[in-house]
Amino acid sequence: MFVDDSLKFCVQHDLMPPFDGCESVFIETECESSSNLIVGNVYRAPGTYLDNFNSFLTHALMQLPKRRSYVILWVTLILICSTVLSISPQMTL
């Protein structure tokens, strides 16, 4: 993630994954006229444990509302599976 030098920001180290196979960075920009903005980018490598990733992402998402900031989150998740998922029109995701 590129952040321009003119922005005041702080890296959110408490939102980093505690295991290998997942990379993330979250920053919080300081906004004087409105709520701060948290921008996060998360990547899960193929072949890594999905349970670990889900636990980390759930934890990170549960922490964000406590910050009272606007949030922009990018998640890159590469799944390799041999089954086809069928979703009926009645299902909501």
- Give tens-digit pLDDT for 43-75: 888 878 888 888 888 888 888 778 777 787 777
* Domain spans of the chain, in order of start: 9-77
Contacts for 60 with CB less than 8 Å, ≥ 6 apart:
15, 24, 26, 40, 42
d(CA 41, CA 43): 7
Tokens of 69: 């900031």
Looking at residue 58, the DSSP 8-state letter turns out to be H
Q: What is the mean pLDDT of the chain?
A: 76
d(CA 56, CA 62): 10
**What's this model's pTM, rounded to 2 decimal places?**
0.68
Banded pLDDT at 22 (limits 50, 70, 90): confident
Contacts for 88 with CB less than 8 Å, ≥ 6 apart:
none
The pLDDT score that the predictor gives to residue 79 is: 56
The pLDDT score that the predictor gives to residue 92 is: 41
